[in-house]
Amino acid sequence: MNAEEIVHSEKAAQIVVGLSDPHLLHALLDHYNWDDGFEVPLAIANNPACELATAIRLFWLSDGGSWFQMSNQERAKAPDHDAFCTALFGRITAGSYSVATVSYVEELSKVAQYKYEKSGLPSLFWQPVESGTET
């Protein structure tokens, strides 16, 4: 099955749990419709083959930057989004993901980087993740 077929499958989350290819996990994000909820993204984030590059991409695709700047009251209005971003942010900042074969860089303007840095978001979230290098 290719990435597009997986994300459109009724059993997408179950399929993702059994995947062991970090590049396929990363490719799933090109085809996932976020209106379908957090079940598949959570399965990707929890998959042992998920690397830091994919986790950071998940963070930005899930609108983690906006989530980071929300108040607790605002976060409470979207409990599924909050739970996903809280867990993902915690795992990323705890160093739970490896850097091995997948690379990624979030393209942020210098102004956006400054705003996020000023709000306390670690630069890890916009620094390039290059395969074969340690963070």
Residue 9 Cα to chain centre, angstroms: 21
Residue 135 has pLDDT above 60, yes or no: no
Of the pLDDT bands very low, low, confident and very high (cuts 50, 70, 90), residue 1 is confident
pTM of the model: 0.92
DSSP states of 6-68 as a string? Answer: HHTSTTHHHHHHT---HHHHHHHTTT--GGG-SHHHHHHHHSTT-BHHHHHHHHHHTTHHHHH
Span 35-61, average pLDDT: 96
For residue 134, name the pLDDT band (cuts at 50, 70, 90): very low
Question: pLDDT over 90 for what percent of the chain?
Answer: 95
